[in-house]
Amino acid sequence: MTTLLVGAITYFAASSVAAPLSPLDVWDPTITSPVTGTVWIIGTEVNVTWSTDNIPPDGVSNGGHIYLAKEEDAIIPLSSNFDLVTANGSFIVTVPVVVPDSDYQIILFGDSGNIGPSFTIVAPSS
């Protein structure tokens, strides 16, 4: 049993060395929600989604992170570190308390950061 385990670890280490991450493995998923015209309400749960086309067979080197951005600057993390492959194209987040505006964006960090189109965040109606 121990021998098998050591063998597996050795194999894994060897295959990692044999196949270093090449630029082709950088996966840059397109954000499919929120998009232009999307309206998020502060305090509600929303579904951030992205295309899983061309996901590298080896997975993604880094964990995923979703940030709320304004003027292309990441301002508020909306997620903890999660596994991009397991998430399979969607992640539920809670809309944070921010100044309502129409120029918010989502940045999805995986191998690289990918920014989505501008969308609107509004206050809940009271």
User: Which residue ranges make up the site for ligand NAG (CB under 6 A)?
Assistant: 47, 49, 88-90, 92
Surface-to-core class of residue 98, CB atoms within 10 Å of its CB (0-12 exposed, 13-18 middle, 19+ buried): middle
CB of 59 to ligand NAG, least distance (A): 12
Query: Which three-class secondary structure state does DSSP give residue 73?
Result: strand
Angle CA(76)–CA(110)–CA(80) in degrees, nearest 5?
A: 45
CB of 69 to ligand NAG, least distance (A): 20
- HSE, side-chain direction, 13 A CA sphere, residue 31: 26
| Length reported for the chain | 126
CB of 31 to ligand NAG, least distance (A): 12
Indicate the residue among 36 and 47 with the shorter CB distance to ligand NAG.
Answer: 47
Indicate the residue among 47 and 102 with the shorter CB distance to ligand NAG.
Answer: 47
Indicate the residue among 92 and 122 with the shorter CB distance to ligand NAG.
Answer: 92
